[in-house]
């Protein structure tokens, strides 16, 4: 009897070195094999072998820039699976550190959208304002929501014509509640960074909410921090 595909994927993700490299890529940015080798605490040649396996199974994609090769998560679906596995794994090791009061728990990236307490609060606020409609069918954007997002430079109609889902829920592993993913979640994070409402922290997934961002998110979306 052939094993289901989850057996092969589980074996890939379950290797400690590969799990560390995948976790390092959860911020949505691309890294070289050398950088990922450092993250995993292994040699460059060993890291390349691991990365080859992850790429072959479409968990990672490769971005080439000149002579350099950068690795990143292949899709939001991969990030969602990893985030869900972190929830199932419970607060142990580094996860236990993040479930305490840390910058990563307050606000961090999950692939290309906002996670942590701020991400969860943002979703709650958007639903309370009826900008998003959450039901058994998933997440919808109301007419009022389209207007509100347009005021911060997000064209929901254009996102709706894209290849990825417009909006979806992603279970947050530190908060054990949902935050917003999909094209809209990515656009919101991108705009927050572009407008300097959020600032990335070097080398980690944590992002910092600025004073301007605190005011803007409260006034525009009703987010109380």
Dihedral-angle region of residue 72 (phi above 0 means left; psi in -120 to 50 means alpha; beta otherwise)? beta
- 224 versus 210: which is more confidently predicted? 210
Q: Which tens digits make up the pLDDT trace of 165-200?
A: 999 999 888 888 999 999 999 999 999 999 999 999
pTM for the predicted model, two decimal places: 0.75
CATH code of the region 5-74: 1.10.10.10
Residues of the chain with CATH 1.10.10.10: 5-74
* Structure tokens given for 170: 């992603």
Q: Which residues fall within 8 angstroms of residue 69, CB to CB, at 6 or more apart?
A: 32, 33, 62, 63
């Amino acid at each position: 009897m052939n094993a289901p595909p989850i057996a092969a994927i589980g074996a890939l993700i379950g290797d400690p070195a590969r799990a560390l490299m995948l976790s390092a890529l959860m911020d949505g940015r691309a890294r070289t094999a050398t950088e990922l080798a450092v993250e995993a605490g292994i040699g460059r040649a060993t890291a390349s072998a691991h990365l080859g396996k992850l790429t072959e199974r479409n968990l990672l994609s490769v971005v080439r820039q000149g002579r350099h090769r950068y690795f990143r998560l292949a899709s939001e679906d991969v990030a969602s699976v990893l985030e869900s596995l972190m929830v199932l794994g419970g607060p142990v090791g580094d996860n236990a550190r993040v479930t305490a009061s840390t910058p990563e728990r307050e606000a961090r990236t999950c692939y290309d959208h906002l996670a942590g307490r701020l991400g969860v609060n943002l979703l709650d606020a958007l639903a309370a304002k009826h900008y998003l409609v959450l039901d058994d069918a998933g997440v919808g954007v109301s007419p009022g929501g389209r207007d509100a997002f347009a005021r911060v430079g997000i064209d929901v109609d254009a996102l709706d014509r894209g290849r990825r889902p417009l909006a979806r829920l992603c279970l947050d592993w530190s908060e054990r509640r949902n935050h917003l993913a999909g094209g809209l979640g990515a656009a919101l994070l991108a705009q927050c960074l572009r407008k300097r409402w959020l600032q990335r922290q070097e080398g980690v997934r944590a992002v910092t909410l600025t004073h301007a961002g605190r005011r803007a998110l409260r006034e525009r979306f009703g987010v109380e921090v």
